[in-house]
Amino acid sequence: MFRRDLIALLRDARSVHDLARELDARPAEIEEDLVHLLRSLRRGTEYRAVVVPARCRRCGFTFRDDRLSKPGKCPRCRHTWIAAPLVRIEPAGDRSG
Per-10-residue mean pLDDT of the chain, 97 residues long, equals 81 94 93 91 85 97 92 96 96 67
Gap between the Cα atoms of 55 and 64, Å rounded: 9
Which pLDDT does position 3 carry in this prediction? 72
Domain extents in the chain: 3-91
Which pLDDT does position 74 carry in this prediction? 97
Given its phi and psi angles, is residue 60 left (phi above 0), alpha (psi -120 to 50 degrees) or beta? left
Q: Which helix (H) or strand (E) holds 86?
A: strand 86-91
